[in-house]
């Protein structure tokens, strides 16, 4: 018989016997993660089935990656904006630069 242990206060289950995935008569919350201690294999419960889980375990790491991507995107947008401003303010040949000129 399979033995499954659950961390107190979390959705993580651990198999100490490695037999079979636990069956849920409504007792396992969606999003629960099962880890086999002998093999390290992980599964996530979608409310009906246990699916192989190869995602990032730490939500903070995912949020950090998203934040880094957004920062990079904002930098590119700012570079494009500055390029457009520079092109719009291009000085015609023969004129001197005048910082107060609002053309």
Same domain, 31 and 65: no
Same domain, 10 and 43: yes
Q: What is the pLDDT of residue 24?
A: 54
Same domain, 38 and 12: yes
Whether residue 29 lies inside any domain: the answer is: yes
Which pTM value belongs to this model? 0.34
Same domain, 25 and 39: yes
Whether residue 46 lies inside any domain: the answer is: yes
Q: What is the pLDDT of residue 26?
A: 57
- The C-alpha atoms of residue 76 and residue 87 are separated, in whole angstroms, by 16
Q: What is the pLDDT of residue 62?
A: 67
Number of domains in the chain: 2
Q: What is the pLDDT of residues 60-72, one digit of tens each?
A: 666 777 788 888 8
Low-confidence spans in the chain with pLDDT less than 50:
1-3
Q: What is the pLDDT of residue 78?
A: 92
Query: In terms of Cα–Cα distance, which of 49, 7, 8 is closest to 31?
Result: 49
Same domain, 15 and 38: yes
Going by C-beta distance under 8 Å and a sequence separation of 6 or more, which residues neighbour residue 53?
33, 42, 43, 44
Domain that holds residue 78: 56-90
Cα separations (Å) of 27 from 32, 66, 98?
11, 33, 73
Cα separations (Å) of 76 from 1, 15, 46, 72, 81?
56, 47, 37, 6, 9
Same domain, 66 and 42: no
Q: What is the pLDDT of residue 1?
A: 32
């Amino acid at each position: 018989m399979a033995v499954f242990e659950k961390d107190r206060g979390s959705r993580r289950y651990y198999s100490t016997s490695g037999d079979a995935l636990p069956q849920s008569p409504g007792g396992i919350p969606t999003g629960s993660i099962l880890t086999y201690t002998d093999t390290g294999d992980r599964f996530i419960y979608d409310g009906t089935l246990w699916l192989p889980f190869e995602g990032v375990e730490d939500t903070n790491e995912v949020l950090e990656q998203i934040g880094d991507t957004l920062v990079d995107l904002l930098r590119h947008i700012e570079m494009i904006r500055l390029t457009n401003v520079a092109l719009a303010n291009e000085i015609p040949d023969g004129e001197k630069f005048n910082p107060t000129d609002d053309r």
